[in-house]
Amino acid sequence: MSGHSRTENDEVSPALSGIVKIMNGVRALLCLLSLTITAAQANTTTGLNFCYEDKQLLPYYAGDGEQIASPPGVTIEHLQAAAKLTRIQLMLQRKPWLRCLQLLEQNKVDALVATYAESRRSFAVYPLTSNDEPDNRLALSQHSTCLVQRHNDNVMQRSGAGIIIARPLGYATPDYPVGVSIVPVQSQQQAFDLVKQGRVDATTTLCEVNQLPAPTGFTEGLEVVYPPLYQTTGYLVFSKAFYLQHQKLATSLWQALQQTQEPQRYYQYLQTEATLQQTEKPR
């Protein structure tokens, strides 16, 4: 009997040994597959679908239509630098502004740049303080707009009698005092020219970005009136769906924007526009 048992064990052992080898091989394969998946996930770049105005709005956005201009405008340059720092793949699309807002509300785009509005809180995520207020420390940029007039013209002192201010198309119009009429023009340089020619009383211009004042000579031949008429703060705003899925990444991007600011670029864009328009004028 015992001899029979030894013979049976001798026959089974090679089979068991083969099964053990197969199982070890499967375990090794599963381990390798797990490591491969983990590495792939670690190297996967999160995409950010960013929507912005399809009309030129210098210095923020350059060019018209769906095409991405080169250079694209300061806002896009700033976002590209921050996306690179956080290893986010920035995907750009241009639409009419109201369409961008609609797509954000529908979670069909991930982000856009906007000023703060309480009504947008239902579908847009802003950087907020512990008091649930907009956090200016994480803003994309803070801008001041000043009146530009002929030297010593004292335009606002005679606004009651009626004055005309030229404003480039696309810019939001604040609440001006009674007696102020707004004339839309194609560009900032055209507005400056109309003031110099005396065809309008004044215009407005970007005069401070993140506390950096406009350079001397930026409005040559005209007077920039301080203090600013008004200030605006732009935020990178996320869709609810993107923020819910990528909260840490969104916060990292807000923080990266503070490290990649180049406020002087706003003025460089406007100066380039002015130079090009002066060159294109008939001689």
Residue 174 pLDDT class (50, 70, 90 cuts): confident
Instruction: Please check the confidence at residue 25 and state whether its pLDDT lies above 90.
Output: no
Q: What percent of the chain has pLDDT over 70?
A: 82
How much is the pTM?
0.79
Per-residue pLDDT band for 12 (boundaries 50, 70, 90) equals very low
pLDDT digits (tens, 9 = 90+) for 90-138: 999 999 999 999 999 999 999 999 999 999 999 999 999 999 999 999 9
Residue 15 binned pLDDT confidence (cut-offs 50, 70, 90) = low
> What percentage of the chain carries pLDDT values higher than 90?
66
Taking 70 as the threshold, does the pLDDT of residue 234 lie above it? yes
pLDDT in tens, 35-69: 334 333 433 689 999 999 999 988 999 999 999 99
Q: What is the 3-state secondary structure (H, E, C) of the chain?
A: CHHHHHHHHHHHHHHHHHHHHHHHHHHHHHHHHHHHHHHHHHHCCCEEEEEEECCCECCCECCCCCCCCCCCCHHHHHHHHHHHHHCCEEEEEEECHHHHHHHHHCCCCCEEEECCCHHHHHCEECCECCCCCECHHHCCEEEEEEEEECCCCCHHHHHHHCEEEEEECCCCCCCCCCCEEEEEECCHHHHHHHHHCCCCCEEEEEEEECCEECCCCCCCCCEEEEEEEEEEEEEEEEEHHHHHHCHHHHHHHHHHHHHCCCCHHHHHHHHHHHHHHHHHCCC
- pLDDT of 26 reads 52
What pLDDT was estimated at residue 270? 86
Using 50, 70 and 90 to split pLDDT, how confident is the model at 18?
A: low
* pLDDT-derived band at 10, boundaries 50, 70, 90: very low
Mean pLDDT of 195-205: 95
Find the range with the poorest average confidence among 6-10, 121-125, 203-207, 212-216: 6-10
Average pLDDT over residues 171-200: 88
